[in-house]
Chains A and B, each alone.
Chain A
Amino acid sequence: MIVTRSWLNEFIDLSGVSNETLYETFNAIGLEVDSMEEVKIPEKVVVGKILSCEKHPDADKLNVCQIDVGSQKLQIVCGAANVVDAEYVAVATIGAVLPGDFKIKHAKLRGVESAGMVCAASELGLPDMGKGIMILDESIGMLEVGRELGSYEKVADTIIELELTANRGDCLSIYGVARDLSAALNIEMKPFEVKLEERMKLGIARKADLHTKGEMDADLCYKLARVEKSASSFLIKLRLAMVKVEASCALEELLAYATHATGVILRMYSCASLCEPEDEKVIVSVEAYAKGIIHVYANGKHVSIVGVNQVAKTKPTDESNEVLIEASYIHPDLLSEAVASLDVEKDELFYKTSRGSNGDLTFGLTYLSYLMETYTKSECYEGALEVEVEREQMKILVDANEISSIIGMDVDLGKIATVLQKLGFEITAMNDHQLATKVPLFRHDIKNIQDIAEEIVRIIGINNIPAKPLVFAEKKRLNATSDRYKAKKALRNRAVGIGFYENVSYVFSERATLEQYGFEVTKDALELANPIAEELNTLRSTLLTNQLLAVKRNVSYTKKSIPLFEIGAVFDAERNQSERMVFVFAGQVEVESIKNAGKPPLIDFATFTQKLGAVIGHFELVPCTQKNGLIHPYQSADIVKDDKVCGFISKLHPTVQEAYGIPVTFIAEVELEALMPKHINAKPISNFQGVYKDLSIVIDKSMNYYEVVKVLNGLDLPMLKESYPIDVYTDEKLGDKKSLTIRFFIQSMEKTLKEKDIEEVMQKIIEALASECGAELR
């Protein structure tokens, strides 16, 4: 919503209010100032009167004007076509400096002397008012030849753009904004009084009829007017340009101006478009189509939907000589709900009607009639055709104590009453701590005591409310979510400690990519209906594809070592949400340095696994059962924690690596649930010496160590405390066999081991491995 200072001044006297105060007040009462621009007309730009205007002898498009600027008469060559229609214009005299550091000097145009420039609005830093020079008139004040244009307050105005919240339809007009200011600044509104001449004695009933059909839920008021000429004024054009409202003809300018000023929804229909030549009357028929949807017909033709749109060809033009004027009000909630389920075109007025327009139709019509009488020499037929809806006005009982407790400071009932009255509320009853108030129609957003409290807060100013810490009962508020959050934070810090960067990516993925690599996708019936882009058209079921894109970007930024992790949400086909932690490591293990003589190794399975373990703790690797297109079939494993598969680790499949154009990459994705800290009970520690024993066995080359582990785990050997592989060896002599060296730690809880005890344990191991794995001693 854009307002100007001088326009506001029509409704409230702002003469004692500085722009700084205005700025602060708007912000303080919740009408946020987006921008505030003081129009500065350059000095030496004055009002000039054109005495004569003749064609330039040597140039078709130029005119040579003799202009009176008070102190002297100047000859100025002007290129604008509309100068021939002008009497009073803005003249930049010699020495004036126009915006863009454009200095006005003596000039010769095609041989003719020119001592200044006749200005267009945009040349003076005013908003663009269309083609040609500005043609001034007395709408901005009395025109005195030679007077500085900048001294006219209505020209050198202040343009204020307000950012309105969705509930403040009442401030979508100059009048509404003035009313809010009146309460905030404690300045009375100026009474709006115009005297309309009653020149026409003809009643409207002679020329128009109104019929209704169905239950009416809109207020409507129609007037009929005869238009003598199509004209508005310089000020109207200037202000419409300042508030960025467009109009296509003079009548539309008046209409838009009146609507912007009063907030009343006004429409105009050209009678010529409604009536056939033989029609003697305009027959307006208003029909309820559905709740909140009112169709308007004129002489059988559909012309508009109240609050929504108007048939274009019924709009007034410069040729219109008789017009039907309509003022309307419909409750915004009713309208918004009705329109949402209807596929209809909405015009620029819908923004106002859906947020709440001014229901004071008489005010709007009077304002417009006054403009039309003044500028178009219109005559209105006497009386009006009206539809009025019975509405129950919202009543609220306001208790000063309740208001005080919501705000947190004592507010006096008298102060509450004053604020509400200034805001247009009617006080119907009052005792020493309560008052009853009727909410005006234009404040449809006020429904309860807290809404009233908001009005009070706005006007007394939040910054005048003291801050008070809340006293709250002690209670433990740590819960599973805060535990989980703490665990996540620890995981993240460990990942960072081992060199990974934290990535945050969208929970979206490209469905085609997920399908291509064999990941789960959301069921079609549950899929996103309005994705924002093709590559973000589904919920991700893996964190990995987003990481690969990040790796790709980092490669393009010439990064050679790319370790990333992310903790984030994934969704299954049923759209169930869970969290995972993902790791990718691409390229070099580390940066080039003294340590690696400038040739750092590339990431490999062992290093990646070690880093992963430093973050997520102990795990086992078993043959990979996961299936997706990113997995390298021969360098991949399921990650087992607490005897459960919770994710996988793999070298990135070389074809994917190539497709993304990235270096050697390792990936791992783990269910976050499996990484949550577990309760641990300590086991007794033996006080007796233990021994390490190494065993080298020869087994099939294709046999995984995992098979050996299964055999060892199946043995009932309480003294065997630990076992782990320490060497694998192959050579030609071994053929399709390999030698595997395993280290065992043997210890008893009860006694110091004797050679015989150790032998017994080792013998059982050897026998089991021989029978189950076909192992031979080396």
Chain B
Amino acid sequence: MENLEVKILQADSLEALEKVRIELFGKKGVLAAEFAKMKDIPGPEKKAFAEGLNKQKAALQATFDSRYEALKAEEIEKVLKSEAIDVSLYGTLAQKGALHPVMETMDKIIDYFVALNFSVESGNMVEDDFHNFEALNLPKYHPARDMQDTFYFKDGGLLRTHTSPVQIRTMLKEKPPIRMIAPGSVFRRDYDVTHTPMFHQVEGLVVDEKGKISFANLKAILTDFLQYMFGDVDVRFRPSFFPFTEPSAEVDISCIFCDGEGCRVCSHTGWIEILGCGIVDPNVFKAVGYEDVSGYAFGLGVERIAMLVHKIPDLRSLFEGDIRLLEQFR
């Protein structure tokens, strides 16, 4: 019986092992022959004989099983090896496009305000004087109109110079309380290294009953927003002037390039101007027929934020579909 075990161990392929299996465990195999001897064994010894034989059979089966596993593993390994390729050749096949950094930044801004339960509002790009200027406390000949070189149409229409007309239209359509943002394209007649005739803004407006909304609220939300966009930066508010808000402020963040030490990007001031905001001017509320309300508003330029966040040097390259720029954002 010992050489039976040797036979199992010597089988060097699954085919050879199968032959051994038939020889040993088959109907006409060695074990079957041994068990056949049982009928000639006298009664009292039968039990001991059978036990001995079963033990031997179990031992052989165990040897066989382990040999089978080993040969099977060898065989699979052979197949696997034959399928080997140089995977490192294929890394360059991964192909994906990219979102535009300005649009992606806009998404991120919208996500923040939607999470704070702001509604998203939109409007037409072609606007009229009332919604773009008059209602925003920018009467004709107001010197502040100089700040916004406007595209006009022959019929007196204009391309909106900011997304603020959306605020006016929303207020005319809905009753307070209002809590909205208006993302979108805006237009100024200006074209040089730092200006493009079209760019993107997100404006925000919150209106509630009189006495409820204060400058302190504006500080809270904008500080939190800017830290969400830029990480751990200092936020500074400076008084400023916008016809549609009063008091008004410009908001700066500590320079993200030099940590406020002073560098070329921040003109050595340590601060970067990032958005404008203020308490809504009563004349704006008057224009839309709101009474006894208070509110704040803010507006920010998406390109500027995108350029800062991603350190994009050239504004104009953002409008050229330049894949050399875009593919960096895959």
Contacts and interface: CB of A to CB of B under 8 A. Distances in A.
B240 interface: yes
B7 interface: no
Nearest to B241: A165
A575 B321 contact: no
A166 B177 contact: no
B215 A508 contact: no
B324 A557 contact: yes
Contacts of B2: none
Nearest to B197: A532
A481 B89 contact: no
Given A472-B117, A482-B114, A553 B100 contact: no
Interface in B41-61: none
Contacts of B213: 470
Contact of A468 (B107, B152, B216, B282): B216
Contact of A448 (B97, B238, B282): B282
Given A406-B215, A507-B125, A559-B323, A532 B189 contact: yes
Contacts of A477: 117-119, 179-180
B98 A501 contact: yes
A457 B218 CA distance: 13
Interface in A480-517: 481-482, 484-485, 489, 492-493, 495-508
A475 B177 contact: yes
Contacts of A564: 321, 323
Contacts of A498: 97
Contacts of B246: 448, 450-451, 453-454
Among B122, B147, B211, B215, which residue has the most Cβ atoms of chain A within 10 A? B215
B96 A497 contact: yes
A756 interface: no
A553 B216 contact: no
A532 B191 contact: yes
Contacts of B294: 405-406
Interface in A543-571: 546-547, 549-551, 553-554, 557, 559, 562-566, 569, 571
Given A457-B215, A496-B96, A166 B144 contact: yes
B327 A501 contact: yes
Contacts of A549: 321
Interface in A424-482: 448-451, 453-454, 457-458, 462-463, 465-470, 472-475, 477-479, 481-482
Interface stretch (A102-110, A258-266, A521-529, A685-693): A521-529
B120 interface: yes
A33 B110 CA distance: 32
B206 A470 contact: yes
B157 A575 contact: yes
Contact of A467 (B124, B220, B269): B220
Contact of B99 (A474, A492, A563): A492
Contacts of A479: 119-121
Interface stretch (B31-39, B68-76, B247-255, B256-264): B247-255
Contacts of B177: 472-473, 475
A431 to B, nearest CB: 20
Contacts of A536: 197
Contacts of B250: 32
B63 interface: no
Contacts of B144: 166-167
A424 to B, nearest CB: 17
Given A30-B241, A526-B153, A467 B216 contact: yes
Contacts of A501: 97-98, 100, 321, 323, 326-327
A465 B215 contact: yes
Among A354, A503, A550, which residue has the most Cβ atoms of chain B within 10 A? A503
B140 A553 contact: no
B247 A453 contact: yes
A577 interface: yes
Contacts of A30: 238-241
A43 interface: no
B119 A594 contact: no
Contact of A469 (B121, B221, B237, B320): B221
Contact of B89 (A32, A474, A594): A594
Contacts of B119: 477-479, 481-482
B112 interface: no
A590 B238 CA distance: 51
A166 B125 CA distance: 26
A528 B97 contact: no
A570 B247 CA distance: 38
Given A493-B99, A571-B126, A527 B153 contact: yes
Interface residues of A, number: 103
Contacts of A165: 240-241
A508 B196 CA distance: 12
A477 B179 CA distance: 8
A595 interface: yes
Given A30-B239, A553-B322, A466 B216 contact: yes
B103 A504 contact: yes
A453 B102 contact: no
Contact of A569 (B143, B185, B190, B267): B185
Contacts of B190: 532
B100 A504 contact: yes
Nearest to A500: B97
Given A407-B215, A469-B220, A470-B206, A553 B320 contact: yes
B124 to A, nearest CB: 5
A602 interface: no
B126 A502 contact: no
A489 B279 CA distance: 32
Interface string A324-350: 000000001100110110000000000
Nearest to B280: A450
B143 A355 contact: yes
B217 A408 contact: yes
A536 B187 CA distance: 12
A450 B281 CA distance: 7
A745 to B, nearest CB: 33
B13 interface: no
Nearest to B166: A481
A565 to B, nearest CB: 8
A594 B92 CA distance: 9
Given A465-B215, A470-B221, A508-B197, A590 B95 contact: yes
Given A450-B246, A485-B120, A595-B90, A462 B237 contact: yes
A165 B95 CA distance: 49
Given A502-B103, A504-B319, A591 B92 contact: yes
A530 interface: yes
Contacts of B279: 406, 450, 453
B117 A405 contact: no
Nearest to B145: A166
A626 B318 CA distance: 31
A499 B114 contact: no
Interface string A296-336: 00000000000000000000000000000000000011001
**CB-CB nearest 7 A-B residue pairs:** A408-B216, A408-B214, A550-B321, A165-B241, A30-B239, A454-B247, A462-B237
Given A499-B95, A507-B125, A526-B154, 20 more contacts: A30-B240, A166-B142, A167-B143, A339-B141, A340-B141, A409-B216, A472-B206, A479-B120, A485-B120, A503-B321, A505-B319, A506-B196, A507-B187, A525-B154, A549-B321, A551-B321, A557-B323, A565-B97, A566-B321, A569-B125
21 contacts: A29-B239, A33-B269, A406-B279, A407-B215, A408-B215, A448-B246, A453-B279, A458-B239, A470-B206, A475-B177, A475-B179, A477-B179, A482-B114, A499-B96, A501-B98, A502-B97, A507-B187, A526-B155, A528-B151, A528-B153, A530-B189
Interface of B: 89-90, 92-93, 95-100, 102-103, 107, 110, 114, 117-122, 124-126, 140-144, 146-147, 151-155, 157, 177, 179-180, 183, 185, 187, 189-191, 196-198, 206, 208, 211-217, 219-221, 223, 236-241, 243, 246-250, 267, 269, 279, 281-282, 294, 318-324, 326-327
